[in-house]
């Protein structure tokens, strides 16, 4: 597994972190804020693990498989929570989360096979 193979997953993680943090900031400005409590919490969770996964991949961590698997789980949970809302930032976030989850699962499985 060379760092080059991580590139696509790193980019998916960055897009996801970006979308989650944008959803987080935008949701905190919404009028119907009370409906967005879970979204706000989950956006932070997801942005944080994406940041962690990016660091891990760029430093070729021996735990990339485990970290990316966890990242995929949190991304999927975030997509599910965002799916309950109608706001545009939540809709954009869902796709970024699902793309990131898929990229992370691929890395996780590819690395686990190599190890």
* Residues at the interface with a second copy (CB under 8 A): 3, 10, 14, 17-18, 21-22, 24-25, 28-29, 33-34, 37, 40-42, 44-45, 47-49, 51-52, 54-55, 58-63, 66-67, 70, 73-74, 77
Q: Residues 6 or more apart from 51 whose CB is under 8 A from it?
A: 13, 17
Shortest separation between residue 114's beta carbon and a second copy, angstroms: 16
Residues 6+ apart with CB under 8 A from 61: 55, 67
Dihedral sign (CA 114, 62, 53, 8)? negative
CB-nearer residue toward a second copy: 76 or 94: 76
Q: How far is the CB of 61 from a second copy (least distance, A)?
A: 6
């Amino acid at each position: 597994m060379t760092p080059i193979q991580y590139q696509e997953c790193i980019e998916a993680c960055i897009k996801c972190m970006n979308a989650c943090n944008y959803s987080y900031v935008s949701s905190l400005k919404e009028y119907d804020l009370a409906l967005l409590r879970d979204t706000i919490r989950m956006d932070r969770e997801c942005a944080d693990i994406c940041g962690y996964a990016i660091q891990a991949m760029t430093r070729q961590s021996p735990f990339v498989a485990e970290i990316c698997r966890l990242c995929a789980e949190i991304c999927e949970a975030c997509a599910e929570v965002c799916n309950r809302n109608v706001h545009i930032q939540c809709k954009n976030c869902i796709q970024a989360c699902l793309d990131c989850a898929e990229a992370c699962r691929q890395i996780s499985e590819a690395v686990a096979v190599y190890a």
